[in-house]
């Protein structure tokens, strides 16, 4: 039987199941196949904070959404075209996101009376016509898998567990994905358990063949590769990119990297990734708490290392005092905050942009800190290098604001070569800087950058003491002199205000838009996708995205004032809007949702259109 | 002396070329403790001790937290970092773990180390980073003007406890032994010779050493250790701990108790062979812990000296070994190779 092949320009698939069903792995593998096929893609994992919530319940549902296309795309997609539901809970938790006419591939075996009851279904939705609006493919994934694995010497439980590979095989056939890499992946993953490896490969192949032969699926789809610019690509998540960016920063600054960190969701993967790269001289220190993590990083910075600490929401609160010490001792330090829903514990696996004011002002005293926010998962790499550049050049702590959406989301990344990366090295101070040629003045500043010298222990003749008590300008000796304090407060502020930050770029193709949509951080993708929609509909709108939140780009005031209306969507209650209103007296229109989820492009397109129409 | 001066603790620290003197270690800063404070004696003792180590002054770092004692680094003409309350062990850990060529000293007090910084202290001790922690114990909060501290005796009447404090104090030695510390010692501000001998062993020890220094605060808790200084009483109540020697003074002796712990008995009541012989290198910490409990009730019999000195690899050396091993197995990291690792694809 020859099956029909239908051309599509893009597809959004959501894999959903119990947190023990292996949906993240399934999604990761489908993503890898898709990346190697050459589609542009963007992913969004969504999982509970509980490692194994009670099986079959709504809180235990874990999902992975993948958007892939034959053209460049900006987000993981608003609503899936295909939902793979491994159990009733997965169906129920995701159905409201599913537009009419979308495909549902449901594991019929799991729709038992007991499982249906667990999530409040009185009748089986696969049988009661309640899903008539959608294209339902009810497939007994578990029993087909078990049957395919009959001849293997494995337990029934192990056979059942391979059902995610059966599903992956089926979807791989449905969308014409290359399968070799997945087979190789399974063989490597279970290298020590050959029987499990073989059975998983068999389940995967069985799923693929099932799609090809069964009449349940009459059509398969083709999505042509996207025309990306020439180069080597890899699919990368924000946390991975950030970790690699830190390695690159260490190499390009010629400073040994010291990471002090305490495990916290969703930042821990940066610690895991950096721990693998000891060959680069990277020391990773899992501290007893958040405070010790940043303290050790600062201690290492005093010793001449590139000190880094990584954390999320509540961890930043704990680090505040030490960041203040880094501000006043003027030592380089990178503080990575992978923002998550707060306050307090909040929703650890959900995303938010609510730490901006905390990053800027969350310390006692006048305590200015540069703040940088990456816009996309792969941009986390460049943001890390930029954070290091500023920290080292200006001897200051830098806050790097990623978030849960960037951290776990992924996209293709055109891999840079080392030769393309900037040299961000700054030599240590090794000679006295006093006018007499003998004295060392640890707080005598560089005339241009206002940075103080960085003289590290082991340097003869430059022995000096620093600390949290106010220091006399120049000598750094303890000083309670009122005028000196006023001077030092202003000098520390002036140093941060004077950081060389590139101008913000405005995307205004025709140059006649009257509405500017401004954003920062991870809202870049949804805003840009929304703007494309609006422009396709004939709307005139400009876009600007701020990467440096302190200091702001020099041209930002001018940009804001050159539009009639400025719309600023944020996943908070208007934190950047507050700053811009105060600083530039511009009547920003805020759009805020704080649902722990990224914006949807469609939602933002509607908001933008409303602002344009109100002109 | 149980350890040679150039023990493993300083093995990676470069040696000074010329002879150093006390003057080399004095900074130009005016010392600003209250007149009569025990900190003066400790500062003088440390300044006069440092030349003996024979290491480069520029490779010496003093890190402190907050409190009266934490001003100490400003008075040492070495590198120094006066940090934040309780966090000195954490900051020093990052420094020492990334710079094995430094001799790192932490100066802390009973409030700094045992109250706000308790967590960092116990983890530094178990982790065994190459640090020397000098804990100035005056059993009071000085800098905040006289509140009770975590080593103040129960019932201590202070500004914050007008009817007496309610909480049981920490015994820093018991705490350190319980926290897996490899080197634990106690000395006293007024006995420079003993202080020197303990510092010498602490510096030579590879890993974290904790030295509790009884220190008099003459403003808020004067004479807290007077019994240990009183020429009439001190020899009666002090039990000098010396490796390989029986633990006893002229009138008291320590022996194994039938309960499994230790007891102090009149010296003339037991045979010499029954007196416990001190073994600082005993890998089992039970006896070191039991010795630390002899000071209860306080100042009846107070062990002074090194309780425990047990070798185990320091955290920083193990960390360096892992880095070396990673390089030995797969070579130095190559950035291009790393960035292009994983599943990549090429678009022409």
Distance from CA of A235 to the nearest CA of B (A): 7
Class assignment of domain B8-225?
alpha beta
Total number of residues shown for chain B:
348
pLDDT tens for residues A551-596? 999 999 999 999 999 999 999 999 999 999 999 999 999 999 999 9
Residue of chain B nearest A231, judged by CA positions: B347
Verify cis geometry, omega within 30 degrees of 0, for the bond prior to B266. Answer: no
Quick one: average pLDDT of B246-267? 94
Residue of chain B nearest A323, judged by CA positions: B84
pLDDT of A81 strictly over 80? yes
Distance from CA of B51 to the nearest CA of A (A): 16
Closest C-alpha among A12, A20, A25 to residue A168: A25
Cβ of B95 within 8 Å of Cβ of A283? The answer is no
Distance from CA of B11 to the nearest CA of A (A): 15
pLDDT tens for residues A403-424? 999 999 999 999 999 999 999 9
Closest C-alpha among A301, A303, A304 to residue A322: A301
Residue of chain B nearest A417, judged by CA positions: B336
Of B29, B77, B91, the CB nearest to A296: B91
Quick one: average pLDDT of A506-518? 96
Please give the pLDDT value at position A46.
86
pLDDT tens for residues B109-129? 999 999 999 999 999 999 999
Q: Determine the distance from the C-alpha atom of residue B47 to the mean position of all C-alpha atoms in its chain, rounded to a whole number.
A: 17
Please give the pLDDT value at position B7.
63
**B260 versus B198: which is more confidently predicted?**
B198
Q: What percentage of chain B exceeds 90 in pLDDT? A: 92
Of B87, B93, B343, the CB nearest to A234: B343
Assigned CATH topology for domain A4-222: Pyruvate-ferredoxin Oxidoreductase; domain 3 (3.40.920)
Cβ of A415 within 8 Å of Cβ of B332? The answer is no
Of A291, A417, A459, the CB nearest to B87: A291
Question: What ipTM, to 2 d.p.?
Answer: 0.96
Using an 8 Å CB-CB cutoff, list chain A residues near B58. 457-463
Burial class (CB in 10 A: 0-12, 13-18, 19+), B153: middle
Fold match flag (A4-222 vs A506-613): no
pLDDT of B150 strictly over 60? yes
Please give the pLDDT value at position B348.
82
3-class SS letters over chain B: CCCCCCCHHHCCCCECCCCCCHHHHECCCCCCCCCCCHHHHHHHHHHHHHHHHCECHHHEEEEECCCCHHHHHHHECCEEEECCCCCHHHHHHHHHHHCCCCEEEEEEEHHHHHHHCHHHHHHHHHHCCCEEEEEEECCCCCCCCCCCCCCCCCCCCECCECCCCCCCCCCHHHHHHHCCCCEEEEEECCCHHHHHHHHHHHHHCCCCEEEEEECCECCCECCCCHHHHCCCCHHHHEEEECCCCECECCCEEEEECCCCCEEEEEHHHCCHHHCCECCCCCCCCHHHHHHHHHHCCCCCCEEEEEEEECCCCCHHHHHHHHHHHHHHHHCCCCHHHHHCCCCEEEEC
Q: Other CB atoms closer than 10 Å to residue B224's CB: what's the count?
A: 23
pLDDT of B3 strictly over 80? no
Quick one: average pLDDT of B49-64? 97
pLDDT of B256 strictly over 70? yes
pLDDT tens for residues B214-239? 999 999 999 999 999 999 999 999 99
pLDDT of A120 strictly over 80? yes
Using an 8 Å CB-CB cutoff, list chain B residues near A292. 87, 90, 93, 119-120, 123
Please give the pLDDT value at position A216.
80
Domains of chain B, residue spans = 8-225
pLDDT of A264 strictly over 70? yes
pLDDT of B1 strictly over 50? no
Residue of chain B nearest A257, judged by CA positions: B98
Q: What percentage of chain B exceeds 70 in pLDDT? A: 98
Cβ of B344 within 8 Å of Cβ of A415? The answer is yes
Of A303, A322, A415, the CB nearest to B98: A303
Closest C-alpha among A518, A470, A507 to residue A492: A470
Size of interface A-B (CB pairs under 8 A): 206
Cβ of A307 within 8 Å of Cβ of B94? The answer is yes
Using an 8 Å CB-CB cutoff, list chain B residues near A305. 94, 98
User: Hey, what are A423's tokens?
Assistant: 């040299």
Of B76, B80, B326, the CB nearest to A278: B326
Of B77, B80, B323, the CB nearest to A278: B323
Mean pLDDT estimate for chain B: 95
Domains of chain A, residue spans = 4-222, 234-420, 506-613
**Selected residue of B69, B81, B103 to mutate for chain A interface (largest A Cβ count, 10 A):** B81
Please give the pLDDT value at position A52.
75
Distance from CA of A410 to the nearest CA of B (A): 13
Distance from CA of B251 to the nearest CA of A (A): 45
Using an 8 Å CB-CB cutoff, list chain B residues near A258. 94, 97-98
Cβ of A230 within 8 Å of Cβ of B348? The answer is yes
Please give the pLDDT value at position A568.
98
**Selected residue of A283, A302, A414 to mutate for chain B interface (largest B Cβ count, 10 A):** A302
Cβ of B59 within 8 Å of Cβ of A458? The answer is yes
Of A302, A468, A477, the CB nearest to B84: A468
pLDDT of A358 strictly over 50? yes
Pick the CATH number of A506-613 from 3.40.50.1370, 3.30.930.10, 3.30.465.10, 3.40.50.920: 3.40.50.920
Please give the pLDDT value at position A55.
87
pLDDT of B341 strictly over 90? no
pLDDT tens for residues B265-292? 999 999 999 999 999 999 999 999 999 9
* Residues A173, A170: Cα–Cα separation, whole Å: 5
Instruction: Give the pLDDT band of residue A54 (cuts 50, 70, 90).
Output: confident
Instruction: Give the pLDDT band of residue B9 (cuts 50, 70, 90).
Output: confident
CATH classification of A234-420 is 2.70.98.50, yes or no?
no
Q: Other CB atoms closer than 10 Å to residue A172's CB: what's the count?
A: 22
**Selected residue of A226, A428, A465 to mutate for chain B interface (largest B Cβ count, 10 A):** A465
Please give the pLDDT value at position A1.
53
Using an 8 Å CB-CB cutoff, list chain A residues near B102. 303, 457-458
Please give the pLDDT value at position B344.
87
Please give the pLDDT value at position B343.
80
């Amino acid at each position: 039987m020859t099956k029909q092949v239908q051309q599509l320009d893009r597809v959004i698939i959501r894999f959903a199941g119990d947190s023990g069903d292996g949906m993240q792995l399934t999604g990761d593998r489908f993503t890898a196949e898709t990346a190697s096929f050459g589609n542009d893609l963007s992913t969004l994992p969504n999982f509970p904070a509980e490692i194994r919530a009670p099986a079959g319940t709504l809180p235990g549902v874990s999902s992975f959404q993948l958007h892939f296309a034959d053209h460049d795309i900006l987000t993981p997609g608003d609503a899936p075209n295909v939902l793979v539901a491994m159990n009733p809970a997965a169906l129920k938790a995701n159905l409201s996101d599913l537009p009419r006419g979308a495909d549902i591939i449901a594991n019929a075996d799991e729709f038992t009376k007991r499982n249906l009851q667990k999530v409040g279904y009185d009748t089986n939705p696969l049988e009661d016509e309640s899903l008539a609006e959608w294209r339902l493919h009810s497939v007994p994934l578990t029993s087909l898998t078990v049957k395919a694995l009959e001849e293997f010497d494995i337990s029934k439980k192990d056979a059942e567990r391979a059902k995610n590979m059966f599903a992956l095989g089926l979807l791989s056939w449905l969308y014409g994905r290359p399968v070799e890499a997945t087979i190789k992946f399974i063989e490597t993953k279970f290298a020590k358990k050959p029987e499990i490896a073989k059975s998983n490969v068999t389940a995967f192949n069985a799923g693929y063949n099932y799609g090809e032969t069964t009449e349940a699926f009459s059509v398969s789809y083709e999505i042509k590769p996207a025309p990306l610019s020439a180069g080597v690509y890899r699919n990368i998540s924000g946390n991975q990119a950030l970790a690699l960016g830190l390695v690159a920063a260490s190499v390009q600054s010629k400073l040994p990297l010291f990471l002090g960190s305490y495990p916290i969701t969703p930042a821990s993967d940066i610690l895991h990734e950096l721990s693998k790269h000891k060959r680069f001289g990277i020391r990773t220190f899992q501290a007893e708490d958040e405070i010790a993590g940043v303290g050790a990083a600062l201690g290492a910075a005093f010793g001449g290392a590139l000190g880094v600490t990584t954390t999320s929401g509540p961890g930043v609160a704990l680090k505040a005092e030490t960041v203040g010490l880094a501000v006043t001792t003027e030592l380089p330090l990178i503080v990575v905050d992978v923002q998550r829903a707060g306050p307090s514990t909040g929703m650890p696996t959900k995303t938010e942009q609510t730490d901006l004011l905390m990053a800027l002002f969350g310390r006692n005293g006048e305590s200015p800190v540069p703040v940088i926010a990456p816009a996309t998962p792969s941009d986390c790499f460049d943001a890390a290098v930029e954070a290091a550049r500023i920290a080292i050049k200006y001897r200051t702590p830098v806050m790097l604001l990623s978030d849960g959406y960037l951290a776990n989301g992924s996209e293709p990344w055109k891999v840079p070569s080392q030769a393309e990366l900037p040299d961000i090295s700054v030599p240590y101070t090794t000679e006295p800087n006093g006018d007499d040629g003998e004295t060392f003045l640890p707080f005598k500043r560089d005339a241009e950058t206002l940075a103080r010298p960085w003289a590290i222990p082991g340097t003869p003749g430059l022995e000096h003491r620093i600390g949290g008590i106010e220091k006399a300008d120049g000598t750094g000796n303890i000083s309670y002199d009122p005028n000196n304090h006023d001077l030092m407060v202003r000098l520390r502020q002036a140093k941060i205000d004077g950081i060389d930050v590139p101008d913000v770029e405005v995307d205004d193709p025709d140059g006649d838009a009257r509405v500017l949509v401004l954003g920062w951080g991870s809202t870049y993708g949804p805003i840009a996708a929304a703007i494309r929609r609006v422009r396709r509909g004939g709307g005139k709108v400009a876009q600007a995205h701020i990467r440096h939140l302190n200091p702001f780009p020099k041209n930002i005031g001018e940009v804001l004032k050159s539009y009639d209306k400025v719309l600023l969507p944020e996943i908070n209650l208007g934190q950047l809007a507050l700053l811009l209103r105060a600083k530039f007296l511009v009547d920003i229109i805020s759009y805020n949702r704080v649902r722990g989820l990224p914006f949807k492009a469609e939602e933002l397109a509607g908001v933008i259109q409303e602002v344009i129409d109100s002109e | 002396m149980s350890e040679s001066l150039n023990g493993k603790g300083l093995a990676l620290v470069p040696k000074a070329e010329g002879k150093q003197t006390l003057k080399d270690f004095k900074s130009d800063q005016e010392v600003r403790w209250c007149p009569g404070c025990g900190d003066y004696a400790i500062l003088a003792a440390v300044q006069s001790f440092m030349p003996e180590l024979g290491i480069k002054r520029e490779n010496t770092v003093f890190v402190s937290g907050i409190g009266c004692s934490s001003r100490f680094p400003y008075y040492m003409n070495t590198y120094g970092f006066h940090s934040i309350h309780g966090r000195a062990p954490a900051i020093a850990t990052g420094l020492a773990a990334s710079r094995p060529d430094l001799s790192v000293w932490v100066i802390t007090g009973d409030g700094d180390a045992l109250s706000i910084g308790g967590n960092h202290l116990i983890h530094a001790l178990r982790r065994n980073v190459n640090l020397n922690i000098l804990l100035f114990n005056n059993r009071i909060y000085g800098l905040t003007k006289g509140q009770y501290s975590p080593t103040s005796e129960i019932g201590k009447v202070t500004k914050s406890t007008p009817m007496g404090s309610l909480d049981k104090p920490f015994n820093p030695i018991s705490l350190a032994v319980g926290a897996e510390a490899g080197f634990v010692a106690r000395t006293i501000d007024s006995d420079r010779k003993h202080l020197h001998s303990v510092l010498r062993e602490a510096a030579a020890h590879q890993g974290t050493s904790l030295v509790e220094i009884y220190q008099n605060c003459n403003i808020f808790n004067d004479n807290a250790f007077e019994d240990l200084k009183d020429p009439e009483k001190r020899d009666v109540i002090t039990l000098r701990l010396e490796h390989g020697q029986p633990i006893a003074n002229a009138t008291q002796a320590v022996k194994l108790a039938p309960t499994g712990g230790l007891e102090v008995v009149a010296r003339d009541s037991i045979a010499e062979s029954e007196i416990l012989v001190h073994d600082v290198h005993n890998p089992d910490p039970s006896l070191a812990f039991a010795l630390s409990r002899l000071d209860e009730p306080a100042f009846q019999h107070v062990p002074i000296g090194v309780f425990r000195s047990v070798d185990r690899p320091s955290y920083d050396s193990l960390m360096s070994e892992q880095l070396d091993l990673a390089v030995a197995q797969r070579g130095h990291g190559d950035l291009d190779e790393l960035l292009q690792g994983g599943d990549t694809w090429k678009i022409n």
